[in-house]
Amino acid sequence: MKYHFQPRLLPALTALLCAALFVRLGLWQQHKAEAKQTLQAQLDSHMKEAPVALPDTIADAEAWRYRNVRVRGSYETHYQILLDNQVDDERAGYHVVTPLHIEGTERRILVDRGWIPAPVLHSDIPVIETPGEPLEITGNLWLPSDKIYTLESPTPAAGWQKVWQNMDMKRYRQAVPFELHPLVIRLAPDSDAGGFTRNWPRPAERMEMNWGYAYQWYGFAVAAIAIWLFLSFRKVEA
């Protein structure tokens, strides 16, 4: 009994298409992991730097990502929001994001003051204590993603919406009547400027999961070709 390699067109095309799709999905996960690693290296580098004064304007937000800054101003709670679905130590809660009126200007910048636990009834809005006097804020600049997927209405029906599902900067800037910097200050852990729990997320968190998915998709690509090769050999009687 002999075996001859006798590939057929349709199975060959199917195997190649599947392998190409799996490789593409693997590359997508690999690129996500590499992007996280790049951001993590950027954050680690800037965290070693001393805070610098926040400039009057920021034309290139990306160039200021993760920079340590300091600025003086007063919190304004009317346009404060709570970011929902935030987890700390496996507990559900919110991040408190408050606009800071920068001293001597008409410009504001959002300050993420940290995490608070959610009430037992999620429909209850927690009461937030906020300092009323001018403060010096120090922290790390966060550039929220502009890739937002949400079912929230962009224009709340009545009044200011206090709980948001995402930090949608475009939506926020359209909703408020003042000039706003394009980044958010994540309050430094050692700052006493009205902060809460501040275990800030790291860009490289769950990066291993992306690598695991990438290897899995690459494995599927190899398996698709291997199965096609196996099925393409046929027995031929001598």
> Measured between alpha carbons, how far is 197 from 14 in angstroms, rounded to an integer?
53
> Measured between alpha carbons, how far is 59 from 44 in angstroms, rounded to an integer?
23
How far the first Cα of the chain sits from its last, in Å, is: 6
Q: How many CB atoms lie within 10 A of CB 34?
A: 14
Q: How many CB atoms lie within 10 A of CB 133?
A: 7
pLDDT tens, per residue, the chain with 238 residues:
677 888 889 989 999 999 999 999 999 999 999 999 998 998 988 988 999 999 989 989 999 999 999 999 999 999 999 999 999 988 999 999 999 999 999 999 999 999 999 988 888 889 899 999 999 999 999 999 877 665 555 555 557 899 999 999 999 999 999 999 999 999 999 999 999 999 998 888 888 899 999 999 999 999 999 999 988 888 776 6
DSSP 45: H
List Cα–Cα distances, 8 to 14, 15, 59, in angstroms. 10, 11, 58
Query: Is the Cβ–Cβ distance between 218 and 23 less than 8 Å?
Result: yes
pLDDT in tens, 40-92: 998 988 988 999 999 989 989 999 999 999 999 999 999 999 999 999 988 99
Query: Is the Cβ–Cβ distance between 184 and 167 less than 8 Å?
Result: yes
Token code pair at residue 169: 């900067």
Tokens 């990306």 sit on residue: 62
Tokens 């999961």 sit on residue: 209
